[in-house]
Amino acid sequence: MLHKKGKLIILSGPSGVGKGAIISKLFENKKLNLAYSVSMTTRQPRNKEQDGINYFFVDKTTFMKNIEKNDFLEYTNFIGNYYGTSKSYVLNLQNQGYNVILEIEVDGASQVLKNYEHRKDIMSIFIMPPSYQALEQRIRMRASESDEIIEKRLNKAKEEFKVQHQYDYVVVNDDLEVAVWEITEIIKKK
Ligand code: 5GP
């Protein structure tokens, strides 16, 4: 069966903004025909994260080999760990007709926007917290990381806020249902 090639949906936003919860809700809507781009990372698994589902957890040597093979659509170093999106993984899903969600940070997003040939097949969405204080509270409540890492994530968030205008859409995650509705409408528009 021949499928129409799927789109790329870039979702960015600071740590703790609720991207995971938003994505889970979006996946309940089968009509959106979504697939998740499982990234490769050198960071350690957190809590209940599973290899091959949340990330492909690899060591630095494996990650570097993938860079050499030129199999990253984009990659970055985020507070000491590497994260990257596999070109072949994403293309395979798109060819099956899925709209592929790339949950990536801002540096990776700008690489994709620069390097990907078919700009009209991409939509980019930045998710904002209702306030910086709300974000800080959520990250601290997660309590899965050391204070040092939490501080780094919060500082990174301030940097990320500055580039939100580079995205096609900015959605505030104050009420989860509302944010999911807004993003659903954006995806349906394309
Ligand atoms: P976390 O450690 O919280 O899972 O992810 C840290 C940041 O890296 C988040 O902003 C997340 O969206 C981003 N990220 C996850 N996978 C990738 C990827 O493949 N590429 C890039 N550039 N960022 C990623």
Q: Could you state, in chain order, the average pLDDT of each consecutive group of 10 residues for the chain (190 residues)?
A: 85 94 97 97 93 97 97 95 96 96 96 87 96 91 83 92 95 97 93
Total number of domains in the chain: 1
Best CA proximity match to 190, nearest among 4, 43, 1: 4
Two tokens, residue 17: 């903004």
Buried b (16+ CB within 10 A) or exposed e, 39-77: bbbbbeeeeeeeeeebbbbbeeeebeebeeeebbbbbbe
Residue 2 CA to ligand 1 center (angstroms) comes to 32
The CATH number of whichever domain residue 180 belongs to comes to 3.40.50.300
Two tokens, residue 30: 């089968």
CA angle 20, 41, 154 (to 5 degrees): 55
Q: Can you give the pLDDT at residue 145? A: 79
Q: Can you give the pLDDT at residue 1? A: 56
CA–CA dist 168, 149 (Å, integer)? 30
Residue 162 CA to ligand 1 center (angstroms) comes to 17
Establish whether residue 78 lines the binding site of ligand 1, counting it when its CB lies within 6 angstroms of any ligand atom. Answer: yes
Q: Establish if 19 belongs to a structural domain.
A: yes
Establish whether residue 104 lines the binding site of ligand 1, counting it when its CB lies within 6 angstroms of any ligand atom. Answer: yes
Residue 110 CA to ligand 1 center (angstroms) comes to 13
Contact 27, 100 (CB under 8 A): no
pTM metric for this prediction: 0.93
54 Cα nearest atom in ligand 1: 4
Residue 46 CA to ligand 1 center (angstroms) comes to 13
Q: Establish if 90 belongs to a structural domain.
A: yes
Two tokens, residue 59: 């060591």
Domain around 164: 8-189
Residue 73 CA to ligand 1 center (angstroms) comes to 14
Q: Establish if 141 belongs to a structural domain.
A: yes
β-sheet with 39-41: strand ranges across:
55-57, 39-41, 81-86, 72-78
40 Cα nearest atom in ligand 1: 19
Q: Can you give the pLDDT at residue 26? A: 98
Query: For ligand 1, atom 24, which residue shows the shortest CA distance?
Result: 104
Residue 31 CA to ligand 1 center (angstroms) comes to 26
Q: Can you give the pLDDT at residue 2? A: 60
Establish whether residue 37 lines the binding site of ligand 1, counting it when its CB lies within 6 angstroms of any ligand atom. Answer: no
Establish whether residue 110 lines the binding site of ligand 1, counting it when its CB lies within 6 angstroms of any ligand atom. Answer: no
Establish whether residue 66 lines the binding site of ligand 1, counting it when its CB lies within 6 angstroms of any ligand atom. Answer: no
Q: Establish if 3 belongs to a structural domain.
A: no
Which residues lie across from 10 on neighbouring strands? 102, 124
